[in-house]
């Protein structure tokens, strides 16, 4: 499986307090035991992985991510922290072939990238042991999502919608009911799927822009020829600066799901 978007582990870790904040909420609903075996699916820059490892001092965490840059950063941080019960691997969800190996599966801000969600959910289900728990969360990149909203606004302002004719939207955006059905079809028991909304405060317009860059803005920009691309990115930054002279409060909608096997 190839990356749709070239991640930067350094950039992501600097610009994504949002993912860490939401991921901490997801962690709070997991019934950890000291000796649990945990699969962290899409570990990103690893800050939540280390938090999980501290919850299972007599257990182990296998943390996977499709991005080599992310895993390299995780391994470097692991050496600094001296946390020894974590194994980091470059691996995508569609390459998971674990069979009943984990007590807990944790996935924070990842599944919106999975357009073949049924396959992904099935692989997560098969990786769980009986009585295991899955804790999943991902953003809804609908028209109200800040990245999508500002990306579309710039397209309209520049009158460049023609470049996006036939463009395949890169994210999975289900309703809670649709994702519930996906989990049931995969075999999960008692799925609890619910939508949340939260306001996250960014320091300024530039911090919002850096966040957009770190999570997929380039997927919009790369559609355009070079001259239009630079103007497009500049337009988004100027729109953000126009809207926010100081701190920026943005609303994010997400799906949370807890299920067992």
* Tokens (6 digits) for 210: 């850096």
pLDDT score, position 157: 98
8 band by pLDDT with thresholds 50, 70 and 90: very low
Mean pLDDT of the chain: 91
Summarised one tens digit per residue, pLDDT across range 73-114 is: 889 888 888 888 999 999 999 999 999 999 999 999 999 999
Q: How do the domains of the chain map onto residue ranges?
A: 9-141+171-200+249-260
Decide yes or no: CATH 3.40.50.880 for domain 9-141+171-200+249-260.
Answer: no
The model's pTM is 0.89
The three state secondary structure string of 51-78 is HHHHHCCCCEEEEEECCHHHHHHHHHHH
Among the residues of the chain, which ranges form H helices? 9-15, 17-27, 47-55, 68-81, 117-127, 146-158, 176-186, 205-215, 217-221, 226-243
Q: Under a CB-based contact definition with an 8 Å cutoff, are residues 83 and 110 in contact?
A: no
- The span from the CA of 139 to the CA of 111, in Å, is 9
For residue 16, what pLDDT band results from cuts at 50, 70 and 90? low
Which residues have a Cβ under 8 Å from the Cβ of 14 and sit 6 or more positions away?
A: 210, 214
Question: Taking 90 as the threshold, does the pLDDT of residue 45 lie above it?
Answer: no
* Distance, CA of 39 to CA of 53 (rounded, Å): 11
Q: What pLDDT shows up at residue 77?
A: 86
Per residue in 173-213, pLDDT tens?
999 999 999 999 999 999 999 999 999 899 999 999 999 99
Q: Give the residue-averaged pLDDT of 128-145.
A: 96
């Amino acid at each position: 499986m190839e990356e749709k978007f070239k991640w930067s582990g350094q950039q992501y870790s600097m610009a994504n307090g949002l993912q860490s904040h939401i991921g901490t909420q997801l962690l709070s609903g997991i019934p950890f035991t000291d000796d649990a075996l945990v699969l962290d699916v899409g570990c990103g820059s690893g800050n939540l992985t280390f938090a999980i490892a501290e919850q299972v001092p007599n257990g182990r965490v296998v943390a996977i991510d499709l991005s080599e840059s992310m895993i390299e950063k995780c391994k470097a941080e692991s050496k600094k922290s001296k946390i020894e019960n974590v194994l980091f691997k470059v691996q995508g969800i569609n390459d998971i072939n674990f069979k009943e190996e984990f007590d807990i599966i944790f996935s924070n801000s990842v599944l919106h990238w999975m357009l073949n969600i049924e396959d992904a959910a099935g692989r997560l289900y098969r990786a769980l042991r009986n009585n295991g728990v899955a804790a999943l969360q991902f953003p809804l990149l609908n028209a109200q999502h800040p990245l999508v909203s500002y990306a579309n606004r710039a397209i309209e302002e520049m009158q460049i919608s023609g470049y996006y004719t036939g463009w395949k939207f890169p994210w999975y955006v289900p309703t809670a009911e649709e994702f519930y059905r996906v989990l049931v079809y995969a075999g999960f028991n008692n799925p609890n799927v619910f939508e949340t909304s939260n306001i996250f405060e960014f320091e300024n317009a530039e911090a919002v822009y850096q966040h957009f860059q770190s999570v997929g803005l380039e997927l919009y920009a790369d559609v355009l020829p070079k001259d239009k691309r630079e103007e497009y990115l500049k337009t988004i930054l100027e729109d953000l600066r126009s809207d926010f002279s100081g701190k920026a409060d943005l609303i994010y909608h997400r799906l949370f799901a807890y299920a067992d096997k």
